[in-house]
Amino acid sequence: MTSIETKSVHTAQMKERTIQPKVMPVYQTSAFAFSSLEELEGYYEGNGTYLYSRTANPNTDALGQTVADLEGAPKGVAASSGTSAILAGILSVVKSGDHILAAEDVYGGTFLLLKEELSLMGIQVHFADFSDISAIEQILIDYPEVKMIFSESITNPFLRVEDMEVLDQLKKHYGLKVMIDNTFATPYTMTPYNNGADLVAHSATKYLGGHSDVTAGVLVGDEELVALAEKRIVNMGFNLSPFEAWLTIRGIKTLALRMKAQTENAQAIANFLNEKTKVWYPGKGAIVSFEVPEAIDVSVFFSSLGWIKIVPTLAGVETTVSYPYGTSHRALSEEEKAKVGVTRRIIRLSAGIEGIEDILEQLGAAFS
């Protein structure tokens, strides 16, 4: 190897490395090399781990298993977004002709996925008020084709805490699978897998990543179901990039510290807002939803929030607000919005880690 053209391409990769890094390195590679055709064939016979980063990568594998460990589940897999993780999980259980029963008060993007995209696959979705157990049971009686129940551990944006005991009873009685989106709660607050869920999804973009600099999803749960979901992720191109997985794992290291601070701030914010308007806060998690009083112009209120940013997402270390009517639930019809209570006066606040006195001062100024 003498030419600069050849050396510039190959030299760096030819050096043997025995370095032991303190943190996992980024395996930023699209593919993995083999020393022989026999070694390549060995991969397909089950004697190798990595071939192509769409199918598997050390960083994405580490992320899936990390979240599985936090949730108390045996297996996890990373995906390109929370929506990808949810869809892969659904397709590990249901097929064309099957039905799903879903809570009507889920995140707007998930509502659209279930309502519009699954119908193109021949999967029918029934939405119900999950606080009305008789309504749920009636659907299960009327539609024996239902194979899965889907809900959120803490719903978006009105923060209803799902009754996992009831869902577990329904699951056992009707022979169903239960899938829960645990994004708002995180494993710091709730572990649905330990309370009967077969699959648990996360938009890792939110609290797991924690710093608003990554888009990622994770699905954990029963080993067989997650293995099927992993095939869907590979075949449908829902894979996550190695660097995004690495960033998310870095964020998870401070999950407990962030959630402790953000939950404490959320409780203080809820107490403060309770004196001024209607508030939704279940006593856990770091999201507070509230209604702007009739006497206050909503646009003026948003414009008066100063350093509290208006964003369409949540869970970063900064305190932010979002407008469900115009963002997360924008695509819902007026009737659908009204049914779940999303009006032009609803605000969803994501508590950050700032000093609570600064947050309350800024909110007080906006109300003034």
Are 181 and 74 contained in the same domain?
yes
Domain assignment present for residue 112? The answer is yes
CA dihedral 333, 337, 340, 344 (to 10 degrees): 180
Number of domains in the chain: 2
The SS3 assignment for 99 reads: strand
Q: Are 64 and 76 in contact (CB under 8 A)?
A: yes
Asked if residue 214 and residue 95 are part of one domain, the reply reads: yes
Looking at the structure, do residues 236 and 262 belong to the same domain, yes or no? Answer: no
DSSP, collapsed to helix, strand or coil, labels residue 59 as helix
- Is the same domain home to 289 and 312? yes
Residue 25 lies in a domain: no
Domain stop point among 234, 252, 270: 252
Q: Is residue 21 part of a domain?
A: no
Domain stops at, among 221, 252, 283: 252
248 and 280 share one domain: no
- Is residue 166 located within the same domain as residue 87? yes
**Is residue 354 included in any domain, yes or no?**
yes
Question: Same domain, yes or no, for 199 and 62?
Answer: yes
User: Could you tell me if 240 and 277 lie in one domain?
Assistant: no
Domain presence at residue 52: no
Segments forming the whole domain that contains residue 294? 256-367
Amino acid 332: pLDDT? 81
Residues of the chain with pLDDT under 70: 7-8, 12-17
In a 3-state reduction of DSSP, which class is residue 78? strand
pLDDT per residue as tens digits for the range 252-303: 999 999 999 999 999 999 999 999 999 999 999 999 999 999 999 999 999 9
Beta-bridge partner residues of 348: 289, 322
Burial of 254 (0-12, 13-18, 19+ CB in 10 A): middle
Same domain, 141 and 215: yes
Number of CB atoms found within 10 A of residue 32's CB: 17
**Contact predicate 315/268, CB 8 Å:** no
Q: What CATH number has the domain bearing residue 305?
A: 3.90.1150.10
For residue 297, count CB atoms less than 10 angstroms from its CB and return exposed for 0-12, middle for 13-18, buried for 19 or more.
exposed
Q: Would you give the distance in Å from CA 90 to the centre of its chain? A: 14
Q: Where a domain ends, among 252, 279, 312?
A: 252
What pLDDT score does 5 carry? 76
pLDDT reported for residue 26:
96
User: Does residue 226 belong to any structural domain of this protein?
Assistant: yes
Quote the distance between the C-alpha of residue 205 and its chain's center.
Answer: 7
According to the model, what pLDDT value does residue 331 have? 78
* C-alpha span between 101 and 55 (Å, rounded): 31
- Structural domain contains residue 28: no
In a domain, 357, yes or no: yes
Looking at residue 17, what is its pLDDT? Answer: 63
* Domain CATH for 71: 3.40.640.10
CA distance 154 to 203: 13
Backbone angles phi, psi at 118, to 5 degrees: -65, -30
Same domain, 286 and 349: yes
